[in-house]
Amino acid sequence: MTAVSAEQDLGPDFSRRLLESSETLSYDPMKEIDWDAPLPADHYGLNPEWSTLYGTPLWDELTEQQRITLTRHEVCSIMSTGIWFEMILQQMILRDQYVKDPAQSEFQFALTEIADECRHSIMFARICQRLEVPAYFPPRTVVELARAFKSTATGEVAYGAGLVAEEVLDVMQRDWMRGENVLDIVRTSSKIHVVEESRHMKFAREEVREHMQSVGKIKRQTSAFLIAAVAYVIVSSLVSPKVYKSVGLDPKCAVAAVAASEHRKSMMRNASAGLMEFLSEAGLLTRPAIALYRRVHMI
């Protein structure tokens, strides 16, 4: 079984259903979000429980306004990282679909997903602009290493890496969209992203399953480790240490507080539970991979 026959193996009905879903249940962020609505001063950027400092002594020392400011910078950091990785994902999908039969529904959905990701990135960018928060990106070393990764990753590694980012963010955003004390633009954007990314995750899971059917023992070990390495980078890059300067905190002290936070560790494990279950079923939860996931408290 080869990657060339992916459409046949995934089943035209599966990809066609995803296409039909995208036609009937998609959103235009430019119309769905009220971009001109005032931003209530007492609304958070994300649920306080999802703040990296929640449950730490530093959080207790912050004023209410500082907490609000911090969460707005944190959510924009997550969105900036999301934009960065969505650009990587788009390139990997394009390369995977290069010169495949355009009449096949798998090819058409892959391009539909890229279109979705473009709209999501613009949506995130406009939210950061609206909140007047600077762009936060991963460290330069990570950015440069990602250039090589996006140019070489294929098959289960490419789709597995995309799935890691999508699944973790999905759990977070399901909480944000229900947060009554969260900014409306974040709640609405979270709803849009959750609905549309659910199709992307189904597609990625099926692609991973398909590619894993023809993977040998050595390649399975390598792929598992590479996907875990991507997960490690993404999770550790979601919130930039620079955000803590927005409320007058020393980044080193704040990072140390986050590293010691049992609440944060618990939140990340809960957010990663479904992903870990899938990776285990797919044969991608090897000992070296587990060691990396544990370092960022995903397991």
Whether pTM > 0.85 for this model: the answer is yes
Mean of the per-residue pLDDT values of the chain: 93
Closest CA to 96 of 186, 169, 159, 2: 159
What span, in angstroms and rounded, lies between the C-alpha atoms of 89 and 158?
8
pLDDT digits 0-9 by tens, 199-211: 999 999 999 999 9
Query: Residue 10: which pLDDT band, with cuts at 50, 70 and 90?
Result: low
Q: What is the mean pLDDT of residues 101-110?
A: 92
Q: What is the mean pLDDT of residues 244-260?
A: 97
110 token code pair:
């892959």
Instruction: Using the structure block, give the residue that is written with the tokens 């957010």.
Output: 271
Q: Is the distance from CB of 91 to CB of 97 less than 8 angstroms? A: no
Q: Is the distance from CB of 113 to CB of 199 less than 8 angstroms? A: yes
pLDDT value, residue 4: 33
HSE at residue 34, side-chain half, CA atoms within 13 A, is 6
pLDDT digits 0-9 by tens, 110-146: 999 999 999 999 999 999 999 999 999 999 999 999 9
